[in-house]
């Protein structure tokens, strides 16, 4: 019997196929989603669904949509899509949605990201716990699936999605750029030709060099997780070999985008956040910009310098999106390369962030290394994970060690020092890990603080 507590996470459903996530589980989740929408007053009569390139996607989608239709709700099946294409569909159609993807996870995984109408996130506190409980009840009682009462329609959304993004950032007048794009055999291979190429819209002044555009959920070349440096190696080599102006790397469901400059050097997501923030503030003077607490301290500094109001949040898309809705923020960024836009229903889209980088680079003559350096002010450790048996005890030990410094517990433990350095130590929600991030004005100071904390955590 399936234990849904193992696969229904804080923000989505994620598990291995078929032992954890299979057609009966997907069907139960579809029924539970429909029932929960109705109970919460979020039923719009139709649900829109899409799936990534994983082989298990179509059969899971069918089972899920059978469950939704069994509850009398119609379905629009958008077919293949990136996660942000599904958010576009949910936003433009005003419908709840379900995206079947396991993002950057290995091939044996699949999952579901759910949203209310207008791409509003469904998380544990906003309906996902109720969906899990109801689906578990349906599975445990072996409830028979009623005959579908809702209709189903297949609708192509790619061209409309691409056209919408092009209305948000105009790339038609930039100088010509050569861009290597590593899709990692994920959905970027489907969406990049439509948005940045000439597959469905007029050509832009971009020479796209494709890398691993073939859709293949077995990820034969490398994992579709650009957060890991090893997965950027091919992109970095190709950028140098082709003499490109920059490189873009998308994760499996193409909702995150990483950037490297002409030398192959990564541009930090914090620098991209600051760059996009300044562009949004130029359009919306005085607006609010969201950043999570482990983005660089340069982000709120630059936001203030450009007349904006920075707001600091916990890590995680549900917190960012909730704060965007509360504050009316125009943009939000995370260290993990998730970027959120008010003019994209507050949802995250790596493609739109990439378009802002292309526009910023194409509107001036210098290289990306010079442009990006304007937004890089500190040295960061990157996220360092440590396996810890007792997370609470170790956090308490670090808290006591730095008792004389400024501390807060917005998300884990953050310690701020008078020289501009900071340390954040957070417990994983799903694994026995502590996640450490350190930033300092110099590499030497960063290394000193990093090693000091790791000695406490691992000693």
Q: How far apart are alpha carbons 377 and 375 in whole angstroms?
A: 6
Handedness of CA 20, 105, 337, 229 (dihedral sign): positive
Handedness of CA 391, 392, 398, 399 (dihedral sign): positive
pLDDT at 317: 83
Query: In 3D, which of 19, 20, 75 has the Cα closest to residue 51?
Result: 75
Q: How far apart are alpha carbons 330 and 341 in whole angstroms?
A: 6
Q: What is the mean pLDDT of residues 430-459?
A: 95
pLDDT at 1: 64
| Residue 395 Cα to chain centre, angstroms | 27
- Please state, for a pLDDT cut of 70, what percent of the chain lies above it: 100
Q: Which two tokens stand for residue 159?
A: 């061209």
Q: What is the pLDDT of residues 150-163, one digit of tens each?
A: 999 999 999 999 99
Average pLDDT, the chain: 97
Q: How far apart are alpha carbons 149 and 30 in whole angstroms?
A: 13
User: What confidence tier does 432 reach under pLDDT thresholds 50, 70, 90?
Assistant: confident
pLDDT at 318: 80
- Is the pLDDT at 90 greater than 90? The verdict is yes
φ, ψ of residue 219 to 5 degrees: the values are 50, 65
**Rounded (5°) CA angle 349-354-359:** 130
Q: What is the pLDDT of residues 2-40, one digit of tens each?
A: 899 999 988 899 999 999 999 999 999 999 999 999 999
Residue positions annotated with a catalytic role:
103
**What pTM does this model have?**
0.96
β-bridge partners, 180: 209, 247
Q: What is the pLDDT of residues 387-415, one digit of tens each?
A: 999 999 999 999 999 999 999 999 999 99
pLDDT at 59: 98
pLDDT at 430: 67
Q: What is the pLDDT of residues 113-142, one digit of tens each?
A: 999 999 999 999 999 999 999 999 999 999
């Amino acid at each position: 019997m399936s234990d849904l507590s193992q696969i229904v996470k804080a923000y989505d459903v994620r598990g291995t196929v078929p032992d954890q996530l299979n057609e009966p589980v997907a069907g139960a989740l579809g029924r539970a989603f429909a029932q929960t929408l109705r109970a919460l007053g979020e039923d719009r009569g139709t649900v829109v669904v899409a799936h990534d390139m994983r082989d298990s996607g179509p059969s899971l989608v069918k089972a899920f949509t059978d469950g939704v239709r069994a509850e009398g709700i119609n379905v629009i099946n958008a077919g293949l899509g990136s996660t942000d294409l599904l958010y576009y569909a949910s936003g433009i159609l005003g419908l709840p949605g379900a995206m079947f993807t396991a993002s950057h996870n290995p091939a044996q995984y699949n999952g579901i990201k759910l949203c209310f109408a207008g791409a509003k996130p469904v998380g544990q506190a906003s309906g996902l716990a109720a969906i899990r409980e109801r689906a578990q009840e349906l599975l445990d009682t072996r409830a028979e699936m009623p005959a579908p009462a809702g209709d189903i329609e297949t609708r192509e959304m790619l061209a409309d999605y691409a056209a919408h993004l092009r209305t948000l950032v105009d790339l038609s007048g930039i100088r010509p750029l050569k861009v290597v794009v590593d899709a990692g055999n994920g959905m970027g291979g489907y969406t990049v030709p439509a948005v940045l190429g000439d597959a469905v819209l007029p050509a832009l002044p971009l020479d796209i060099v494709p890398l691993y555009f073939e859709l293949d959920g077995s990820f034969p070349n490398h994992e579709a997780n650009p957060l890991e440096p090893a997965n950027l190696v091919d992109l970095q080599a190709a950028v140098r070999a082709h003499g490109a102006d920059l490189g873009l790397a998308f994760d499996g469901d193409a909702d995150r985008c990483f950037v490297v400059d002409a030398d192959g050097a990564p541009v930090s997501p914090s620098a991209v956040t600051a760059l996009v923030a300044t562009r949004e503030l130029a359009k919306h003077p005085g607006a609010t910009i969201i950043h999570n607490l482990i983005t660089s301290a340069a982000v709120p500094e630059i936001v203030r310098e450009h007349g904006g109001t920075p707001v600091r949040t916990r890590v995680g898309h549900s917190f960012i999106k909730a704060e965007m809705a509360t504050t009316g923020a125009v943009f939000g960024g995370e260290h993990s390369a998730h970027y959120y836009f008010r003019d994209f229903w507050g949802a995250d889209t790596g493609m739109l962030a990439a378009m802002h980088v292309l526009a910023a680079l194409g509107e001036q003559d210098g290289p990306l290394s010079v442009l990006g350096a304007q937004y890089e002010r500190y040295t960061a450790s990157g996220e360092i994970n440590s396996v810890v048996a007792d997370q609470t005890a170790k956090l308490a030990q670090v808290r006591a060690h730095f008792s004389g410094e400024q501390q807060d517990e917005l998300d884990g433990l953050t310690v701020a020092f008078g020289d501009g350095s900071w340390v954040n130590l957070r417990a994983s929600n799903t694994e026995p890990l502590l996640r450490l991030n350190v930033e300092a004005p110099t590499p030497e100071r960063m290394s000193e603080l990093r090693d000091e904390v790791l000695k406490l955590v691992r000693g």
